[in-house]
Every structure is written in C-alpha cells, then in structure tokens.
A and B are shown apart, each in its own frame.
Chain A
Amino acid sequence: MNTEKLTSSVKGMMKSFGLPRIIIAVFLLVLFILAPFVGVNVGTSLSDTLNRFGMNAVMVLAMVPMIHSGCGLNFGLPLGIIAGLLGATISLQVNIPGPTSFLLAIVFATPFAVILGWGYGQLLNRVKGGEMMIATYVGFSSVAFMCIMWLLLPFSNPTMVWGYSGSGLRTTISVEGYYLHVLNDFLAIRLSDHLVIPTGMILFFALLAFVIWAFLHTKTGTAMTAVGSNPIFARASGINVDKVRTLSVVMSTWLGAMGILVYQQSFGFIQLYMGPFYMALPAVSAILIGGASVNKASILNVVVGTFLFQGIVTMTPSVMNSMIHTDMSEVIRIVVSNGMILYALTRKTEAVR
C-alpha cells in the first residue's frame, strides 16, 4: 500500500518533470561522476560550466517574455543579437576603453533593440499561429541582411575594420582593452586554482531575471500571461492583445541584445557576419530542457535548463575524449538539443492554443 503510494507519487513527479529531462539530468550526473576517474578535473569542469552558464543564461532568459505572451519559442533571437552587435560595434567606434564601453554598448544597443523588436512584434501580430516558422526566417534574413551592412557601414576604428582595405568590419573583433571580462572579473571568487566563480556575470543575470520575474507579477505582466494562455478571454477582459504581444517581443529582443553583450565580454570577441546564425537553437533547447513548453516558461526553467544544457556541452567533450579518444560531443549536442525541441513541438496538450 505504502510502496504503491510511493511509486505512484514518484511516477507523478516523473511525469511532471518529463522523461527527456530526467534522462538528460542523469546523463550529466553520470558525466560528473565519471570525470575524476578518466582524469578530468572536476573543479575546472564546474568552473567552465558556471562560466558558460553565465554567458548563455541571458539569451535563454530572452525566450521567457515571448513564450508568456503566446508568441511561441523565439527562433528570431538573432534579431536581438543583431541589436546587441550594433551596440557593441558602435561602442567600440566611439572608442572609450575600459568598463565604460560595456555600459555604452548597452546604451547604444537599446534603441536598436526597441525599434527592431517593435517592427518584429508588428509582423508577428499579423501572422498569429504561424509565428515560429516566420520567426526562424526573420532571424535568418536579418543576419544575412546585416552581412551586407557590416561590409558597407562606415566604421573606421582600426581594431575593427579589415587592415588592407580600411573598410568593412572583420569577422571577429577582439574586445580586449574595452570590456573584456568586465562582468567575469567583478567580485570573482577564486576558490582554488581551477575553480573560479564569475560572480559579476551571474549577478548580472540574476538582476535581469529578477526584473523579469517582478515584471511578470505586475499588472502588465499578468496581462501578458493572460494573453498567452487565452487570447480571446484576455480580449474580453479588456486587454489590448496586440499591444501586449508587441511589448513581449520588444522585451525578448532587448534581452537577446543584452545576452550577446554578456556573451562577448566573457568570450572576448564580437562575432559578426554568419556568427549569430544558429544562436537561437541552443537557447531554445536550453529553456525546453529546463522544463518549459511552447507556451509556458518560468525563471526556474531558465536556470535549470541553461545549467543542464551548458553542463552537457562542457562535459561531453572532455569526458568522452578521455574515455574513448573520440570527440562525439558535436553529435550529442545536435541530437540532444534538436531532440528536445522536437519533443516540445509534438506535445498534444500544447498544440491547442
């Protein structure tokens, strides 16, 4: 009787958590357990995982507002990334070294994110029901369009443009001397030679996550959730559905812009041209791994999902390489991330909106 109750409650828990998530969590746990036996330093791995968590978490957070308002998974994340890239490049062009450049990048990125996000939101309001496919292609075409722009825009800072022609931005631009590691090194805690906690970066994410969490509990935030769960009911209760949706898209786009800036300051380079092309997929699958679905997501999903996804991305190459001397991590990453998206897209309950 008691064991029956226990098994049923365990089953219920498993059901609510979802089998794929359990498999991924167990897989990551096994990797961490195996690591010391195959000669991989757990401290370094944990440090790498934390670092990658900080780098990617804001971009994953960018999924939340749009999922809440019922716009689906934001496959158009590259648009936000482009706003961030514009902010970053303009900040470097203004050429004020040191941490100020990071603030400047945020300041310059914001208007682009708002304008692009507003236009993108207007577009998505006209294609309700088909958002995800169109978002994907909005992302792709904007990246391709910016490829042309990076060549033509009149940037002139010698660290950014091609040396021999003096015009056209390079494919990768170093942010050394500007905002390299400004967040990483802020209050960083060095526990040992291998284990460093990038406090500033995680605090920055925590701040943004808190703002989003608080926003979702305000009146407008509640309206957003209402629009997402039942647009007809929301309209009946006097909410301007299109306006709320546009707001959510602007927020997602801005968070995408912030996400890429955080990513750059840790990674050390601005990646232009085709760099942002496939950046939406890891973010989408991370939030889904964290337990979100096509129309439901929370901050907890972001934290759990980013940690699990980035944990696997960090751990598989090192552990697998030491175990079987082959790097299968790329294949595992593709199968896990896209498998997770497929799983979410095929859930029956979520197909009806």
Chain B
Amino acid sequence: MTLHMTKTQKVLRFMGNNTVPILFLIICAFGIPLSGYSANYLISEVVVRIARNSFLIVSLLIPILAGMGLNFGMTLGAMAGQIGLIFISDWGIAGIPGMLLAMIISTPISVVLGWWCGKILNMAKGREMVTSYIIGFFMNGIYQLVVLYGMGAIIPIRSNALVLPRGYGIRNTVNLIGIRKSLDNLLTVRLFGIPVPLVTFAVIALLCLFVLWFKKTKLGQDMRAVGQDMEVARAAGIRVEHTRIVSIVISTVFAGYGMILYLQNIGTLNTYNSHMQIGMFSVAALLVGGATVAKANIRNVFLGVILFHLMFIVSPMAGKNLIGQAQLGEYFRVFVSYGVITISLVLYEVRKKRDQSLAGLVLAAEQEETV
C-alpha cells in the first residue's frame, strides 16, 4: 500500500479525523457573536471552568490507554469524593487541611469501588462502556442507601446543618463554606484583568505530568499493550486482568480528587445530583477535544474543556437572542452534549470496521504477491 496522498486527500483525512472539534468550532463561531458576551467575560469564565473541570477529565485518560474505553464508572470516584466532603463538613475542618482530609478519606473508598468496578468490567470484556455506565447507576442506588438512610443513623453525623430534620440522611444541598475556593484563592494572579487561580492550575499541571510520566513506566507500557491486544499481551506475560483493574482504580481515585477540586470551586454540594452529571459532562468534553474511544491525550482534554464550555456558556444567551427563549438554548446544549457523544461513538465504530476491512485487503494483497 502506498502512502502518498494529494493535498486534498490530506485535508479530507484531517477533517475526517477531527469531525467533532471542527463541528464545535463552527457552533462556537456562530454562538459567540449571537450571545453578545464580551471577550473578557468569556475568557474569565473559560479559565474558571478549566480550573474546575480539567482534573476530572484527565482521570478518564488511563482507562482509555488500557483499551477499556470511556470510563463512565468515574461517577464512583465522584461519590467517594463527596462522601469525604460530607465528613469534613461534619467535623468542621476548613481550608486546605479540610480538602486534604477529604482526599484522604475518599482514597480507600475509591480504591475499593474501583477494584470492584474493574472486576466486573473484566467479566464483561468487549462491552466495558455500557457496563461501566450501568455500574454508575447501580452504585448510585447504594450511595443513596448509605447517604440518605445510613448517615446519621448508623454512621455518626452530628451537625444539624447536614442531617435532614427527620434525624438521619444528608440534606439535598450541603454548603461547603469551609473549603469554598480555598485552593483557588490561595494564590490568584490577575492577567489582563482576568483572575487566574495559579495553585489549582499547578495541581492540574502536576497531574498531567504524572499521566505523561506514567505512560512511560513499565505499568503504563503494559496498559498500552493490553489496550492494543489482550491476547498478545497475555502471551507476553502481562497480567491482563490485573492491569485492567489497576487502570480503573487509578481513574476512580483521580476522579474522587477531581470531584473535590470541582466542588471546592462551586462551593455547594448537590448531594444526590452532582456526581450523576459529572460523568456525562467530562466524557462529552473529552470527546469534543478530539479524543476517541481508543485514543486520548492531554491536548484533547484542554481543547475539549475550552470548546465544550464555550458552547455551554454562550448557548442560553444565544438561544434567547435568536428565538427569544433562553430555555431553547439550554435544551440545545443538552442535545449537543449527548449528540457529541453519539457521533463520536458512531464514528469510532465505523472507523474501526473500515480499518479492519482495510487490514484484510492489505493482507490479501500481500498473500497474492507471495504467490
């Protein structure tokens, strides 16, 4: 097979491989002028959202490396992070120590949940995504059981601000006043009048460096091998099942930390909702950045956060100015979030099939040559 391509072919191929980001650029290009927001406002909003969401999205990268697709089970980590936050709110530990303690509490919960999730995903090879998606729903039931019925009844929670008037169960919204923006406000620099939370960015940069370093370690290479071909990896002496479980555990633990970072920026915890939406938004953002089910890197994360959240910020206003209904813009952004995931999943499957048939043709051609 020759690999010479004309310029048009190259452009077409580039467009084909980056359909989703290009689609988003077009949406944003129409939406931004329609919304009428100033550039300054948009940039500061996007900076806030990069700080808020990137950590969560980076947590999705490692399972993709191990060939397990998009880890919708990251909601498990988010639940663990929220449980940590509930405890520190109850104990009244504020500021950075509070956040650290919440992370420490969340870690063992994340590890156990991630290990369990990995075990189940090993039983459902080939359909990891839909399984991890259902695991998220299933654990949401258990989470409700623990938080709505267990906390205050079996697990001691003393604070009246947290417990429902009936004496047990956590309230729908928990005010995280103690840790609100404690990391963001630690060191804020104003660049051109836009506040930039330096410490949060430093933490995210550290995580990115960790992921880059991790890909080069023995374990990271093992994961890549498992992701490419499980049977070959097994023949090479890699413990496939174990490696897959580890990748999910790492992802879950990071998702827990990411959730704590996310909620310290927001400042209130929607006890029974926050974690459910986060999986969908993170996955959509990553895909908007040009990632696929099988390939994702740090660049996709940041491009995705910027494009996805630009769309998110401008669409209600754009809808209002265009048709006179802000509600329309809100439905539009929900539609786009789900639509993007759908398109990415379909494109991935179609491309996989195309590559398979191409590989078959190449093999046939080679055999003909030898004969």
Q: Which of A130, A141, A147, A338 contacts B134 (CB 8 A)?
A: A338
CB-based contact B335/A151 at 8 Å: no
Q: Which residues of B contact A281 (CB under 8 A)?
A: 137
Q: How near does chain B come to A215, taking the closest CB pair, in angstroms? A: 28
Asked if B142 and A335 sit within 8 Å, CB to CB, the answer is: yes
Bound Cα distance A292, B274 (Å)? 34
Interface string of A126-169 (1 = CB under 8 A from B): 11111011101110110011011001100000000000000010
User: Among A123, A326, A346, which residue has the most Cβ atoms of chain B within 10 A?
Assistant: A346
| A215–B241 CA distance with the chains assembled, in angstroms | 43
B11 interfacial by beta-carbon distance below 8 Å: no
Is A176 at the interface (CB under 8 A from chain B)?
no
Residues of B near A123 (CB, < 8 A) are 346
For B126, what are the chain A residues with a Cβ–Cβ distance below 8 Å?
129, 351
- Kindly state the separation between the CA atoms of A136 and B280 in the bound complex, as whole angstroms: 12
Number of interface residues of A (CB under 8 A): 39
Given A130-B349, A137-B345, A141-B339, A345–B328 Cβ distance below 8 Å?
no
Flag whether A342 is at the interface (Cβ < 8 A).
yes
In the docked arrangement, what's the CA distance between A130 and B327, Å?
33
- The one of B131, B325, B332, B338 that contacts A342, using a Cβ cutoff of 8 Å: B131
Q: Does A339 contact B (CB under 8 A)?
A: yes
Q: Say if the beta carbon of A334 comes within 8 Å of chain B.
A: yes
Q: Is B201 an interface residue (CB 8 A)?
A: no
Chain B CB within 8 A of A328 CB: yes
Partner of A334, one of B120, B130, B140: B140
Contacts of B144 in A (CB 8 A): 330-331, 334
Which residues, 125 to 167 on B, are CB-close (under 8 Å) to A? 125-127, 129-131, 133-135, 137-138, 140-142, 144-145, 148-149
Among the listed A75, A145, A148, A346, which residue makes an inter-chain contact with B120, where contact means beta carbons less than 8 Å apart? A346
**Cα distance, A184 to B337, chains bound together (Å):** 39
* A211: min CB distance to chain B, Å: 30
Considering the complex, give the chain A residue whose CB is closest to the CB of B324. A165
Q: A152 → chain B, closest Cβ, in Å?
A: 8
Which residues of the other chain, A, contact B339 by a CB distance below 8 angstroms? Answer: 141, 144-145
Contact with B along A314-353 (1 / 0, CB 8 A): 0000000000001010111111001101100110100100
A281 to B346, CA, bound (A): 21
* A139 CB to nearest chain B CB (Å): 9
Identify A133's interface contact among B129, B327, B331, CB under 8 A.
B129
Q: CB-CB < 8 A to B332: which residues of A?
A: 148
Given the known A-B contacts A126-B353, A334-B144, are A137 and B138 also in contact in the complex, defined by CB atoms under 8 Å? no
Q: For the complex, is B66 an interface residue (Cβ under 8 Å from A)?
A: no
- Residue contact A351 to B127, C-beta cutoff 8 Å: yes
Q: How far is the CA of A328 from the CA of B168 in the complex (A)?
A: 13
Instruction: Give the Cβ gap from B202 to chain A, nearest Cβ, in Å.
Output: 35
Partner of A148, one of B130, B331, B348: B331
- B149 and A144 within 8 A (CB): no
Given known contacts A328-B149, A342-B138, A137 and B342 CB-to-CB distance under 8 angstroms:
yes
Determine the chain B residues whose CB is within 8 A of the CB of A339 once the complex forms: 138
Q: Once the chains bind, are A126 and B131 in contact (CB under 8 Å)?
A: no
Question: A195-217: contact bitstring with B at CB < 8 Å (1 yes, 0 no)?
Answer: 00000000000000000000000
CB distance B123 to A348 under 8 Å? Answer: yes
In the assembled complex, the Cα of A144 lies from the Cα of B165 at a distance in Å of 36
CA distance A281 to B127 in the complex (A): 17
B350 at the interface (CB under 8 A from A): yes
Contacting pair A132 B345 (CB below 8 A): no
CB distance from A148 to the nearest CB of B (A): 5
B149 partner, pick from A127, A133, A134, A326, beta carbons under 8 A: A326
* A129 and B130 alpha carbons, distance in the complex (Å): 12
* Residue B334 interfacial (CB < 8 Å): yes
Q: Tell me the nearest residue of chain A to B70, going by C-beta.
A: A133
- Contact digits for B322-360, partner A, Cβ 8 Å, 1 yes 0 no: 010101100110110111011001101110010000000
Beta-carbon nearest neighbor of A334 in chain B: B141
Assembly CA distance A126 to B138 (angstroms): 30
Docked Cα-Cα span, A332 to B335, in Å, equals 30
Tell me, rounded to whole Å, the shortest Cβ–Cβ distance linking B131 to chain A: 5
Cα(A338)–Cα(B131), bound, Å: 10
A335 to B133 CA separation, bound complex (whole angstroms): 14
Given contact pairs A145-B335, A348-B123, A351-B127, A126 touches B327 in the complex (Cβ within 8 A):
no
In the complex, the chain B residue whose C-beta lies closest to that of A281 is B137
Give the CA-CA distance A89 to B363 in the complex, in Å.
55
B232 adjacent to chain A (CB < 8 Å): no
Return 29 A-B CB contacts under 8 Å, by A number. Answer: A126-B346, A126-B353, A127-B349, A129-B126, A129-B349, A133-B127, A133-B133, A134-B342, A134-B345, A137-B338, A137-B345, A140-B338, A141-B339, A141-B341, A141-B342, A144-B337, A152-B323, A281-B137, A328-B145, A330-B144, A331-B148, A334-B144, A335-B145, A338-B141, A339-B138, A345-B131, A345-B134, A351-B126, A351-B127
Q: Give 20 A-B pairs besides A128-B349, A338-B134 with Cβ atoms closer than 8 angstroms.
A: A126-B349, A130-B345, A132-B130, A133-B129, A136-B130, A136-B133, A141-B341, A148-B335, A151-B328, A151-B331, A152-B323, A332-B141, A333-B141, A335-B141, A335-B145, A342-B120, A345-B131, A345-B134, A346-B123, A351-B127
Chain A residues engaging chain B, CB cutoff 8 angstroms: 75, 123, 126-130, 132-134, 136-138, 140-141, 144-145, 147-148, 151-152, 168, 281, 326, 328, 330-335, 338-339, 341-342, 345-346, 348, 351
Closest 10 interchain pairs by CB?
A334-B141, A144-B335, A127-B349, A338-B138, A335-B141, A346-B123, A141-B338, A147-B331, A137-B342, A140-B338
